[in-house]
Amino acid sequence: MRARALTRTFGRGSKTLAALGPLDLDIAAGEFVCVVGPSGCGKSTLLRIAAGLLRPGAGELELRASADRPVAMIFQDYGIYDWKTVQANVRFGLDIARVPRKEADERARAWLTRLGLADFAAAYPAALSGGMRQRVAIARALAVEPEILLMDEPFAALDAQLRTILQDELLELTQTTCTTTLFITHSLEEALVLGDRVLVMSARPGRIIAERRPPFARPRTGDVRDAPEFTALKAELWELLRGEVAGRAALDAVGTGAPGTKGAPRG
């Protein structure tokens, strides 16, 4: 994956909002890259451009892949269909790709087994917990064997304990499949556990302002959370982010005429 001078704006005229960029990005095949940054900095916008759901305002984003449908995306809100069974949800991408039904069912069942959902194949999403629904979403994405996996804060709505469990499960899965992954998160811990690289974005319009490589060899487990290097790097990244969050808040206060900003220029 390669981006050059990528930008995106929303609105028109005096109401134009610069959301992203200019941004340059390179992700190697098989690399797991995590992106962190303040709320509203354009992280999800970047992911949606990569998925083809948004067009860039300027610049380019190139996906280097050989398959006709190389990308799968996992959303924060699961994105699974309430009226389909768990197995039908996992099989959905395979049905779109016109994979023969017998093969599609076999692949769906294999992924359900791998993610501990085999006993729920005939159930509907309403009967599942949040963590199980996210497992269904992960199984559906990986069943199509994507070359590139895009994940938009997939564990953000889960409680801390379940989030840790799914982080560890995803770590094991992606190390096995070696799928190129772009993972958006607000959690520094999550980024450091999962990522080959962690990219820090500035406040809006988002740009890459820092890059760190967690010093943990692969194959890796969640035990890295206990390493002194983990704690030190997490603190370093938080200092970077705290500066961006504070700077954005100050600019927003000026722009809205918050108390203490009377007479200050807007924008």
Q: Residue 262: pLDDT above 80?
A: no
Which residues on neighbouring strands pair with residue 197, listed in sequence order? Answer: 33
Domain limits of the chain? 1-12+19-70+147-230, 78-145
CATH fold of the domain at 1-12+19-70+147-230: Rossmann fold (3.40.50)
pLDDT confidence band for 68 (50 / 70 / 90): low
pLDDT confidence band for 97 (50 / 70 / 90): confident
The pTM score is: 0.85
Return the pLDDT at 90.
Answer: 94
Return the pLDDT at 101.
Answer: 92
- State mean pLDDT over 240-267: 56
pLDDT digits 0-9 by tens, 182-201: 999 999 999 999 999 999 99
Which pairs count as long-range contacts for 166-174, CB under 8 Å and 24+ apart, including other chains?
Answer: 166/131, 166/134, 166/135, 167/193, 167/194, 167/222, 168/193, 168/221, 168/222, 169/115, 169/135, 170/138, 170/194, 171/220, 171/221, 171/222, 173/114, 173/138, 173/142, 174/32, 174/149
